[in-house]
Amino acid sequence: MSTKRILLIIGGGIAAYKCLDLIRRLREQGIAVRVVMTKAAQEFVTPLSVGALSNDRVFIDLFDLNDEREIGHIRLSREADLIVVAPATADLLAKMAGGHANDLATSVLLATDKPVLVAPAMNPRMWLNPATRRNTAQLKSDGIHFIGPATGEMAEANEAGPGRLVEVLELVAAIEAQLAAQRKPAAAVTSSLLAGRHVLITSGPTHEPIDPVRYIANRSSGKQGHAIAAAAARAGARVTLVSGPVSLADPVGVAVLHVETAAQMMDAVRESLPADIAVFTAAVADWRVAGSAPSKMKKARGAGPPKLDLVENDDILRAIASSRTSRPNLVIGFAAETDDVVGYARKKRKSKNADWIVANDVSPSTGIMGGDRNRVHLVTASGVEDWPEMAKDDVAERLIARAAQHLNRTWVET
């Protein structure tokens, strides 16, 4: 992402303050951010604070003499890899849908030939108003991408419903997904490499309820699984992603099934078969409570912790890899270990009947868990490939290229 550039258009809503955190987090990911502010946006945050965080000049005036000498609004609209509008107010959506160009923000949006991602934020009644719904439908048909709005309490007292700006981390994930979709795949991965093939992927954790507010889970951000799904889609495959609870945006061009428990994930996987390739990256909880409590379990002084009767969850990888009727041609599992990484991965490949195991060290010192980089070992029947540390997106591209090469060779031989 270090070579990517974002043009952020900040609209005039109370949620504009969240853009300060958004800019900071994007820059932490190595993404350059240039900002256009509407006149109304300056009532909520100052160009000085925005410029300090973006480390760039903030653009506010369509008729700036120096900029327009070089037709600045056209230059701004073309130099970014992605234009993000956040918060997108009802007024700004209406202007976009109508093709207005009466200020710098709308002129840039009308002149751009780059993808546009919109994050709406407004009062629930404004969002649900038929005019806003028509404008949103028109923009979506024009190819504008949307994320949100979220549902919840508004800044105004006694106001709740759909209209909140999505959380900053969710917006960052959506931006990264849009940028990743633009990336040229590695040389071995072309848009036709897996054309006509179905790739099934699991990602994220599962949550096994103890009561309505507590659960058992394994740690997983879902970043690697979602990256693999996006890479498979770029390689031309039809992709089904079965995802546990994560804070990531759905990958572009991927059919996503959202689940919570291991049992739900198993059902979704079985319903998604047949598949040519199955990649099981999800950190499925090994156990669940035999009978979760229907209401919140209360602490009682001196009573000690409650006894939890645990039962083992079905092993999704082993079940699918051992199926006689619907086993994919290539089954890939993941092994997150803290010691003897390759040794455990070799045992897991055999015990689960998987073709490959992708193993990595998730000890706290590695920073792998929840991070953006990974160092893996590919364990196959013929040996172990030690891959260098790289971004999780690059691990995904390399794994999909390797899988396609293996599968295509198999098809030719048969």
Point out the residues that are catalytic: 218
Within 8 A by CB and 6+ apart from 42, the residues are 12, 60
Distance CA(194)–CA(404), nearest Å, equals: 7
| Residue 201 burial (CB count, 10 A) | 33
Distance CA(154)–CA(158), nearest Å, equals: 8
Distance CA(284)–CA(152), nearest Å, equals: 30
Local structure of 406: helix, strand or coil: helix
Distance CA(310)–CA(78), nearest Å, equals: 57
Amino acid at 301: R
The two three-digit tokens of residue 154, written as one number: 């508004």
| Residue 327 burial (CB count, 10 A) | 18
Local structure of 226: helix, strand or coil: helix
Which residues in 130-223 belong to E strands, given as ranges? 145-146, 150-153, 160-164, 198-203, 207-211, 214-217
Q: Cα dist. 151→155, 160, 166, 361, 377 in Å?
A: 12, 7, 9, 38, 42
Report the sign of the C-alpha dihedral through residues 48, 54, 57, 60, in that order: negative
Within 8 A by CB and 6+ apart from 213, the residues are 296
Torsion region of 320: left, alpha or beta (phi above 0 gives left; psi -120 to 50 gives alpha): alpha
Distance CA(414)–CA(408), nearest Å, equals: 10
Distance CA(321)–CA(352), nearest Å, equals: 7
Let me know: does 73 contact 63? Beta carbons within 8 Å: no
